[in-house]
Each structure stands twice: as C-alpha cells, then as structure tokens.
Amino acid sequence: METSILNADQIDKKITRIAYEIYEDNSSEKEIVLAGTDPGGFELAQKIESVLKKISPLKTSLTKIQVNKNALAEEGAITLENKINLTGKTIILVDDVLNTGQMLSYCMKAILRFPVKSVRIAVLVDRNHTLFPIKSDYTGLSISTTLQEHIKVSLKTKGKESVILKD
C-alpha cells in the first residue's frame, strides 16, 4: 500500500524553508558548498541552490557525492564528482531521506578528509531511525515510520514531485 506524504507544492514549500534556514545560518559566509548524495540528495541540493540564488546573495558551489552503497566501508566507495576545494568552507551535506545515518556517516568521513570550516546536514525527510550519530540540521519533514516501511522521494519531474510512504 502506498500513501502520499507530500505533493509537489508541499515539497517546494519544504525546500524553500530549508533554503531560508541555510541562508539565515550562513549569511556571513563567503561561500557554502552543497554536497548532494547521488541521486536523490543531489537533486535536492540543486533545488535548494536554485532557491538560495533567488533569495540571497550567498555564493554557492554544488558537488555530487557518488556512493557505492554495497561497499560503504571500502576505500573509494564515496567520491566527490567535481573536485572543488572544500578547505575552510561550510559544507551542507544533502540527502533526500535520513534513515539510519550510515551512508551520511561515510559521506561525512569523505568530506572530513579536507580541513573544512563546518559541516551541516539537510534532508527532505527524517525517518527518525538513526543508528549512527547523525542528526539533520535542516529538515523538511520529520516522520516516524516502522522499519518495514519505505519512503520513496521523486524530485525529477517538475510539478510531479512526491514523497510516498510504502508498506
């Protein structure tokens, strides 16, 4: 059984709110880097960056984090797609859904190879099942689910974006 949690309009409002929160917290920064996990986190990061460009003078850079989910602990399982300089910058690690926090923990490890200024986490949906010490700084929707339920986020098609809960 599928239950729609957020429609396209609601998702846009959540993304706009996240962008405003990021801007408020980082208005004094020269530049922030939005690092989105591939695929869903990167799509969300692109949408956040688009809103940030409309509402603020904040300079942003965007990078895609490629993740081999089958080998998270192995060297090279997490890679930054474009080799931008992260040194001294504030990084916003973006994912569509925060579940256990395992993948974001390994992404954080890859980012912390650089001497960054700070790292924050933005997610569209926080399922509240973290097993790792990961907490979202910017959350669109926090929802308690069972471990058997799954969240499906679709952000690719303009006007047809959705967040669906599947049993």
User: CATH code at 53?
Assistant: 3.40.50.2020
pLDDT of residue 101: 87
More confidently predicted of 127 and 45:
45
Range of the domain at 77: 2-166
Provide the domain count of the chain. 1
pLDDT of residue 77: 65
Residue-wise pLDDT for 110-128, tens only, equals 899 899 999 999 999 998 8
What is the spatial distance between Cα 32 and Cα 58, in angstroms, rounded to a whole number?
8
Q: Quick one: which H or E segment has residue 22?
A: helix 8-26
Identify whether 39 is preceded by a cis peptide bond (ω within 30 of 0).
yes
At which residue do the structure tokens 């992260």 appear? Answer: 86
What is the spatial distance between Cα 154 and Cα 112, in angstroms, rounded to a whole number?
29
pTM above 0.85, yes or no: yes
Between β-strands 90-98 and 2-6, what pairing exists: parallel, antiparallel or unpaired? unpaired
Q: Quick one: pLDDT band at residue 21, thresholds 50, 70, 90?
A: very high
